[in-house]
A = this chain, B = another copy of it.
Amino acid sequence: MSNQSQKKPQTAITPTREENYAEWYQQVVRAADLAETSPVRGCMVIKPWGWSIWENVQRGLDGMFKATGHKNAYFPLFIPLSFLEKEAEHVEGFAKECAVVTHHRLEAGPNGGLVPAGPLEEPLVVRPTSETIIGATFAKWIQSHRDLPLLINQWANVVRWEMRTRLFLRTAEFLWQEGHTAHATAEEARAETMQMLDIYADFAENWLAMPVIRGEKTEGERFPGAVETWCIEAMMQDRKALQAGTSHFLGQNFAKAQEIQYQDDAGNREFCWTTSWGVSTRLIGGTIMTHADDDGMICPPMVAPAHIVIQPVLHKPEAKAEVMAFCDRLIEQLRTKVYGGRVVEVEYDTRDIRGGDKTWQWIKRGAPIRLEIGPRDVAEESVFMARRDKGPKEKESLKASDFVERVPQILQEIQDGLLAKATAFRKEHTRVIDTKEAFYDFFTAPETGENQPAPIHGGFALAHFNGDPALEEQIKNDLAVTVRCIPLDGQGLCDDEGEPGTCPFTGEPSAKRVVWAKSY
C-alpha cells in the first residue's frame, strides 16, 4: 500500500468536501481524469474516463427515447440571426450569451498575422439551443395530421457564452440531447412533456443513482419562450440543488412564430403544439457531486467506464506467467456476464508502476470493483476484492468462480447502495418549514473565521408560498435561495405533500409546499 493509504485518515483529495466544497469538486474532476479546462475560454476537454461516462449516459437515454417512439436526426450548428429573432422572449433569453460567426475566411492582416475576412451577409449564431432551426424544418415536414406526432431528438454540442464556468456544470460549449416534438393537440403535447420528465427522473435514479424531485419551474425560471418548464432537481453534497434536466411545454408559441401548421381532418390549417426537452454533460457534474467522496470519484456501475479493474500483483518474477494466465481466464469468464445491458467491462491494468499508486489512481477514478490478484489468489483460485462504495481497506477474498457468478448482483448492490445513500442524504437535509424565521435560519451559514469558506449548511426547504414573483425575488436577494420547483404530488417528500396551507412570509393562502434551495 502507498504512503497515502498508511497515513489515513489523510484523504486522496485535498481539500475535503467540508473544508472547501467548490475546490474539492475541481480536484475530484482532475484526480479522476474526467475533464480539464482547455486553452479556449470556457470550453472543456472531456478526457477518456469522463467521455466514457457520457457514452453510457447516451446509450441509456437513447434507448429510452427510441423505446418511446423518438427518432434521432441532426440539424445545423449555425442559426441565422433572423431565425433567433422570430420568438421574442426566446431571443431575449439567449442574446447575452451567443457566440456569433461573422466571417467565413482568414486573410493576411496589416501586421502579418491573419485576420477575419469574407464578412457574412447575415451573422450566424452558434446554436445555444435549436428550437428555431428545428422549428423551421418542422414547418416543412409537417403538412397533414398524418405527419403528427413528430418526435425528434438530436445529440449535439451547443454554445452559451458563460462568464463564470465550471467543468461539466456550466461551460461555454457543452454536449447534450435536445428533443423537439410537434403534436395536434395541447393534451398530447402536455403528455409528451410529462413523459419525458418521467424518463429523465427514471434515468437519473436508476442509471445515475441520483434521486430527483420532479416539478414545475416558477415563471422567473422558465425557458425563454415556454408556457411551462418542468424539471428534475437533485441535491448535491453541499445541499444545493442542481437542475439536472428540463422538459418544456411550448404551447403554440414557437409554432406561431415559425408557422408550424397541419391540416386537420376537416381540411383546416391549425398550429401545432410543441415541446422541447434536454439533458446535458451537466449530468456528469451532478453524478460526481452526488457520489464522490474525499477519496475521489465513485462511478455508479450503470454508467461506469469499467465495472472492474484487475491489478495483477507481479512482484515475484517466477509467478508472473501464472498470475497473468489466471487473470486472462478470469477476464474471459467475466466478459460472458452482462450488467445493465452491457457486457461486463474489465480494465486490466498491467502497467509497471507502483502498486499503491495504481490502487489510488483507480480509487480516485471511482471504478466500482477493484481486484488484486497475486500468487496466493492463484493458488487458492480466489480474488481479493475491494468495492469503491466501501472503505479503501475493507477488502474481501472470494472464490473466483463465485465472484464471476455473482458479479452482476454485486454491481447492482453497489448501484442500489449509492441511490439509497443519496436518498437518505437528501431526506436528512430536507426540512418542512413553516415560519419565516426558521426558513431564514435554515439558509444562513454559521459564522466562520475570516477568509474561510462558509461551512456546508441548509438543504431543501419545503415551505408554502403565495406564488408572488416579488417575494421570490426578495428571498433570492436576502439568501440566494429560490424556488427550485413546484413539486408534482406523490413523490413522498413530506406528510402533507400537495396540500394547501399558508405562506409563512405573507400569511396568504398557498396551493402547496414548494421546494426552496440554493442552487447551481
What are the residues of chain B within 8 A of A173 when measuring CB–CB?
76-78
Nearest Cβ on chain B to A355's Cβ, whole angstroms: 16
A48→B65 CA distance, assembly (Å):
13
Evaluate contact between B77 and A159: CB separation under 8 angstroms.
Answer: yes
* A338 close to chain B: CB less than 8 A: no
Contact of A124 among B40, B79, B105 (CB under 8 A): B40
* A324 close to chain B: CB less than 8 A: no
Nearest Cβ on chain B to A451's Cβ, whole angstroms: 31
Evaluate contact between B104 and A102: CB separation under 8 angstroms.
Answer: no
Evaluate contact between B175 and A74: CB separation under 8 angstroms.
Answer: yes
Across the two chains, which residue of chain B brings its CB closest to A105? B96
Contact of A97 among B79, B104, B126, B159 (CB under 8 A): B104
A483→B297 CA distance, assembly (Å):
53
Evaluate contact between A95 and B107: CB separation under 8 angstroms.
Answer: yes
* A231 close to chain B: CB less than 8 A: no
Known: A81-B106, A102-B102. Is A75-B137 also a contact (CB below 8 A)?
A: no
What are the residues of chain B within 8 A of A351 when measuring CB–CB?
146
A104→B78 CA distance, assembly (Å):
14
A36→B134 CA distance, assembly (Å):
13
A74→B171 CA distance, assembly (Å):
13
Across the two chains, which residue of chain B brings its CB closest to A70? B48
Nearest Cβ on chain B to A436's Cβ, whole angstroms: 38
Bits for A101-116, please: 1 = Cβ < 8 Å to B, else 0. 1111111000001111
* A488 close to chain B: CB less than 8 A: no
Nearest Cβ on chain B to A423's Cβ, whole angstroms: 31
A388→B83 CA distance, assembly (Å):
41
What are the residues of chain B within 8 A of A113 when measuring CB–CB?
81, 85
* A125 close to chain B: CB less than 8 A: yes
* A260 close to chain B: CB less than 8 A: no
Evaluate contact between B114 and A126: CB separation under 8 angstroms.
Answer: no
Known: A40-B80, A85-B114, A116-B123. Is A72-B52 also a contact (CB below 8 A)?
A: yes
A161→B175 CA distance, assembly (Å):
23
A105→B96 CA distance, assembly (Å):
5
What are the residues of chain B within 8 A of A81 when measuring CB–CB?
106, 113-114
Evaluate contact between A74 and B102: CB separation under 8 angstroms.
Answer: no
Evaluate contact between B107 and A137: CB separation under 8 angstroms.
Answer: no
Evaluate contact between A48 and B77: CB separation under 8 angstroms.
Answer: no
Evaluate contact between A91 and B76: CB separation under 8 angstroms.
Answer: no
Known: A101-B101, A126-B126. Is A43-B106 also a contact (CB below 8 A)?
A: no
A157→B146 CA distance, assembly (Å):
33
Nearest Cβ on chain B to A366's Cβ, whole angstroms: 17
What are the residues of chain B within 8 A of A45 when measuring CB–CB?
73-76, 137
Nearest Cβ on chain B to A44's Cβ, whole angstroms: 7
Across the two chains, which residue of chain B brings its CB closest to A95? B106
Known: A102-B100, A114-B91, A161-B105. Is A83-B39 also a contact (CB below 8 A)?
A: yes
Evaluate contact between B51 and A72: CB separation under 8 angstroms.
Answer: yes
A217→B96 CA distance, assembly (Å):
46
Nearest Cβ on chain B to A123's Cβ, whole angstroms: 5
A84→B55 CA distance, assembly (Å):
29
* Residue among A45, A91, A175 with the highest chain B CB neighbour number at 10 A: A45
Contact of A76 among B40, B77, B80, B114 (CB under 8 A): B40
* A38 close to chain B: CB less than 8 A: yes
Nearest Cβ on chain B to A158's Cβ, whole angstroms: 10
Across the two chains, which residue of chain B brings its CB closest to A78? B40
Evaluate contact between B104 and A161: CB separation under 8 angstroms.
Answer: yes
* A47 close to chain B: CB less than 8 A: yes
* A133 close to chain B: CB less than 8 A: yes
CB<8 Å pairs between A and B, sample of 26: A38-B75, A39-B83, A39-B133, A39-B136, A40-B124, A40-B133, A44-B76, A45-B74, A45-B75, A46-B74, A48-B71, A48-B73, A51-B74, A52-B71, A81-B114, A91-B106, A95-B105, A98-B104, A99-B124, A100-B104, A100-B105, A101-B102, A101-B126, A102-B103, A105-B161, A106-B125
Q: Which 5 A-B pairs have the closest CB atoms?
A: A43-B76, A48-B71, A46-B74, A100-B103, A95-B106
